[in-house]
Structure formats: C-alpha cells, structure tokens
Structure 1
C-alpha cells in the first residue's frame, strides 16, 4: 500500500488523517490501491439504485482492466446511484494490499478469487466498526469508556490482519455485537450532554416519509431508524446518534447536524441537502448537493 506522505497523523494511532474530514485515511476508500473488489464481490439488483442485475463474484460491466470504473464521472446519470453512496471504509485496499499481498483476483487461480470475494465483506464490516470506535475516542463525553474502546479498537485491528482463511471463517457478527455494547454506552454518555430535556429514543423507528421539518432532535437516538425520504428541513440534530440510520433521499436542507455522531459519508451521500446544511467535521459535503456559499 502506498504511504500517505505529508498527511497529518492521528496522535492516538500514528495513522494518517484524512485532510478533508479529519478521519484516519486508512478507514476511507483508496480505490487506487484496490482491485475493484466492490465492483466484483458484491451483488446488486435492478432498482432505483442500479439499472441492471449483477451476481456476487461477477465483475461489473463497467469495470476496466486497470480495476477502475469506466463511468465513474457519470455514475448517477447512468443509473448507478448505489455506487455513489457506497464506502468500504478502506477494506478494499486492506484486502488487496495486505491480506492478499498485492496479488489481484484476475491473475491467480479461481480459488483465490473466490476467497478474496468472501473475505472482502468481512473486512468491510470490521473496518466500519473501526470507523465507529475511532470516532468514539474523539468524543470527550465518552472519556469514561475510552480505555475499553481502545482495547476493542486494538482487538478489531488485529482481526483485520488475520489470514484469508481465518477471516473467511470469522464470526464477525459476534465481534460486532460485543463492541456494540461500548458504542451504546458511548451514545448514552454523549447524548446526555446534548441540549436540554428528555432525549428522544427513536432507535429502529419507522420514519419513512416522516414530516420532521424543524423538529427538535437534539441528543436523540436515531440508531437504525428508517428515515427514507423524511423531511428534516431545518431540523435540529445536534448531538444525535445516527449510527445505522437510513437517510436515503432524506431532506436535510438547513438542518443542523453539528455534533451529530456516528454519521458516515455513505449515509450523507444518500441524503439531500443544501448550502445551509450544517455538518459535523467527520464528514464532507457531498458534491451533488447545492454548493455551500
């Protein structure tokens, strides 16, 4: 994997930070170091997100011989919106360059390709978990659990460096469930200091198309909430927990997400927003949104 020279480094991990979003660079996709794994290993079905079907383990028709996307600059126009809201959290380059030592799936035997495709989703889940644990360590209110979070992060890091065979057999769900206890405790600590009054618990709530314009959701738990096409125009989401919330086509124009946590770039890319949308420093403003003034 190429070294990220000249980048700022996370003092907690000595790993490079993403200059735009203040995140560890190794937890953001570097497609130039990946063998197009998301374009091959994962399936998709004809829908609003994709114009056709593709089976897992079959290369997308748009994948070039150099492992780059042939329509990357016009994915939305071509109907591949699903690709624009996907992020492997750096798992692609980890599997390509570390787990398989830079050997791509095209040049080896079919068995290696199949193993690589099996391992990629596992490492992707581990890297997503690393993303949340890493953010938890930046939240001052969660300091009482930082030591435990650090141990969980280190343990997860070690799992990402298992052999391909070990990764393919890993019970990643059990590991995520164990770490989730810490993330829940983190959420309670952070939300306790957000805004005033009783904190709304909307965990797993069905809020499809909900009219939440101007809603006071400060310090709310929206973990796993389905907010597809919800109108959150001008809503106050400061200090809200957004882990796993489905924000596809949610309207975030003029919403305030300052201090919202466990919000990932794929979630934000799937939503709609504008110049007045206020965002936490862990994400960047999507290019398809109205430019910020």
Structure 2
C-alpha cells in the first residue's frame, strides 16, 4: 500500500512593507474618478484640453450634445467641485479651464488610458480616414509653409494641427477630414499672411453666425457670385455645425458655391478682415480697432420652410448688394 504525502501549504506571510496608497488618498482619487465616470464629461474634458486657448464656455460645449445648457452646466459644476476644472466669469459667460494641477492626469487619461481601453475591447474597431494622422498633418504643414512665404514653418504646423482638431470635433465622416483641413488651413494662413505682409489691397469681409451652416454661408456665396475674387470673403461660426443645413443647400448650389463646410471662428480671420458682419444672432466676436462691424437682423434658415429660406436668401442678397456698392464704387448688381 502506497501512502501519498501532501506537502504542507505554504504559509501566507502578510507584507508589512505595503506600497498601496493610503486610505484617505484612495478616497480622494475614487471621488475624482467617479466624477469623471460619464461619457459627456470625458468629451467635455477632451474639448477643453484641445482648444487653442485651453478654455471653453457653456455655449461652446453645448454643441457636443443635444442636452440643454443647464445640463452642461451641471456636468461642469461636478468636475469643478472635485477640482479638475477651474472657472472664471467674464461678462455674461463663465469660462472653464483644466486645473493646472490636473493637466498631467487629464493628458494621461485622454492620450494614454483612452486608446489602451479601446485597444482592449473586442472585436477591434474599424476606423476610417487617416491611418497616420501625425505624418499626414506634418506633410501638409511642410507643403503649406512653402506656399506662404510670410508664414514660418512653426506657424504653419500650429495652424494645420489646430485646424484639424477644430474640424474633427464636428466631423461625421473622417475620410474627408484631411481635405477639409487643407482648405481651412489655407484660408487661415492667407489671413495670417495678409496681416503680416499687408500686400493684398482687396476688401476683406467676414460673415459670422453661430453654426456657419446657413446665413453666413449664403452671404459669402452671394458675394462670390456677384464679384468673384474682387472681394476676399470668409464665413465662420462660433459653434460650427457638422454640416451645412440641408434646407440651404439648394440656394447654395444655385450660386455654384464651392462645396461649403462649417468652419470655426478664428482671431486671424477677424484681424485680416476689413468688415465683420454678424448675422442677426447677437453672436460674440472679438472687437479689434480699425475694423468695421455690422449686424444684419435676418432669420435663421434652419428654422424656416423652403419659402422662408428663399425669403431669407433675398433679404441677405439686398444687404450684400448694398455692402458691395459701398466697398466697390463701380459695382452694379
């Protein structure tokens, strides 16, 4: 008879030299992570972290979702209460920034943890668009730096990357994002060059509305329709939409508009402009000395019927013709 012997189980010796964080610290970290454990709050953090100025207000952030501004304000307050965000009231708006003590942690969360979490999911996601965004943007910036002689390479790289980030926030189809980035970056670099070199004597007009999806697009298209490139025209939105409003597209197509797409407002565009026109929306625009500002009180075509869109188009047309007659003495409609 064979007798089996069983080795005695190895005793578990508690490690007194523990490297675990303390209970109080763990409680603070858990509270902060709990405050961030919401998809919209993470998107808000990402938005603020990637803005050129490093800050945003509720009106900017409301474009991320269809929830109301009070709901966005609630999410911001939660993150401010745990210290991740700081806030500052300027005029009627409260501006939010990432607390300097949390910037490293937020960068790790967005730049390292998020990609790792996605990579750990199964099945793997199929992505469309650029396969090497960094290389494509670098190549585009190098190309554009050679085109605009008064713009240095660092400025070109900054503007290309800012343009890509700004458009990516609202892009629905990423496969066309590099093409749109090039168009937007070319416009911005031209604005910078005009400011730096002061060689272009043509009148420059900027049309501004909230979404850059209707009124401002129509106004810009009408200027090009009447005078071509005799006037340099821009359009932008403080909170650009993901696409031009469908009800406005037929009017733009009738004017042979060149594949318009919503673009964010930049300080460069304001500095380069002689005339800045806001489109009846009371939108905020930087006020710079030497610029002419007008506000055209016209309706929003996004809320109008087809007949209403046509009436708004005709109203904008009248304003545009009056402006062109003032800028170009020989203009006849």
Fold shared per TM-score above 0.5: no
Q: TM-score, normalization: structure 2? A: 0.22
Structure of higher CA gyration radius = 2
Q: TM-score scaled to structure 1, two decimals?
A: 0.24
In terms of fraction of residues, the more helix-rich structure is 2
Higher strand share: 2
